[in-house]
Amino acid sequence: MPAKTVLVTGAGGFIGRQTLQTLIDLGYQVHAVSRHPLDVPGIQWHSCDLLDTAATKSLLEKIRPSHLLHNAWYAEHGKFWTSPENALWLEASTYLFKKFISCGGQRILGVGTCAEYDWQREGQTPWQETDPCHPHTAYGQAKLMLLNRLATLPVSYSWARIFMLFGPGENPNRLVPYTIRTALAGKDILCSEGSQIRDFIDTRICGRALAQLLESNTIGSVNIGSGEATSIATLVKKICALCDYTGNIKFGAVAMNKSDPSFMAPDLSRLHNEAGFHEQKNTAESLMEMIEASRKKPG
């Protein structure tokens, strides 16, 4: 096997697909697990039910990767926050990590979430990796528990705490694609009051950040974001301006979740200074690319 062989789980998903080309460029032989293989040259695709320990064992013993980038998880829109599937993925992921190590694996990058942090945290200073974690959802709890288990294992590891994502392949009911689609159709846009501050990162940049983090020697949790904190209202208005939308934005038409924090944006010092990832892309440029792609869709 080459010196750098990486197994990417969830490789056909919203985030995973964006890591593949950068991993190739970094010199990895890339093995990818996905229900639906993508047409990406240079990737060896595998079908494996990671909830089946026997299948996971067989795959790892066959490939014996040096690196593992673990994206796979239950992620059905609107359901993953509270789903009992989170407990299943916690146990399956724990087994995956242990078996990877027993097969000679050297480094793991686990994909976590900003939902691990305490959402009742006060103030509007960027969240740091050392801030208290007190997840309020089953999803955040399972991810944090997996990180705690990973930290006890005899392996080099990083843990990516990802903030708000948007980009190609996104569920059409999420904020950005919904706003684009509705604005282009000239219909009323229904939104919360929009005061919440968030950090949105293009999933393509996120994917490259993950690949770079895996390649680095950084240990522990690392925030992944754009560094552009903005209110939901400002983002929606920006999308509407880029769409030349002159219709009605109904702020307050959608009830806010009482558990949602008013401010959620990351400190990116570790990502920049330790992992060495500095790529930035103007959010408006990324949004415009999505708008143009949406305009070209038939119907």
Residue pair 248/40 in contact (Cβ under 8 Å)? The answer is no
Q: Do residues 110 and 153 make contact, with C-beta atoms less than 8 angstroms apart?
A: no
Q: Are strands 229-231 and 197-202 parallel, antiparallel or unpaired?
A: antiparallel
Q: Is residue 137 part of a domain?
A: yes
Residue 185 within any structural domain of the chain: no
Residue 263's pLDDT is 95
Q: What is the pLDDT of residue 2?
A: 56
The whole-number pLDDT of residue 122 equals 83
Q: Does 35 fall in a domain?
A: yes
Total number of domains constituting the chain:
1
Could you report how far apart the first and last alpha carbons of the chain are, in Å?
48
Is 243 a domain residue? no
Furthest-apart CA atoms within the chain: distance in Å: 59
Q: What is the pLDDT of residue 299?
A: 56
Phi-psi region of 93 (alpha: psi -120 to 50; beta: other; left: phi over 0): alpha
Amino acid in the structure at residue 100? F
Question: What angle in degrees, to the nearest 10, is found between the helix axes of 232-242 and 283-296?
Answer: 50
Residue 222 lies in a domain: yes
Is residue 220 within 8 Å of 159, Cβ to Cβ? yes
Could you list the pLDDT tens digit for every one of the 299 residues in the chain? Answer: 457 999 999 999 999 999 999 999 999 999 999 988 888 899 999 999 999 999 999 999 999 999 999 999 999 988 999 999 999 999 999 999 999 999 999 999 999 999 999 998 888 899 999 999 999 999 999 999 999 999 999 999 999 999 999 998 899 999 999 999 999 999 999 999 999 999 999 999 999 999 999 999 999 999 999 999 999 999 999 999 999 999 999 999 999 887 789 999 999 999 999 999 998 778 889 999 999 999 988 65
Q: How far apart are CA 241 and CA 233, in angstroms?
A: 12
How far does CA 266 lie from the centroid of its chain? Answer: 14
The continuous run of DSSP H or E covering 190 comes out as strand 189-191
pTM of the model: 0.95
**What are the backbone angles phi and psi of residue 71, rounded to the nearest 5°?**
-100, -30
Residue 251 lies in a domain: no
Residue 152 lies in a domain: yes
Residue 14 is part of which domain span? 5-168+201-227+263-281
Does residue 215 belong to any structural domain of this protein? yes
| Exposure string over 107-131, b if 16+ CB within 10 A, otherwise e | bbbbbbbbbbbebebeeeebbebeb
The label of the residue with tokens 């399956």 reads: 92
Q: At 122, which CATH number? A: 3.40.50.720
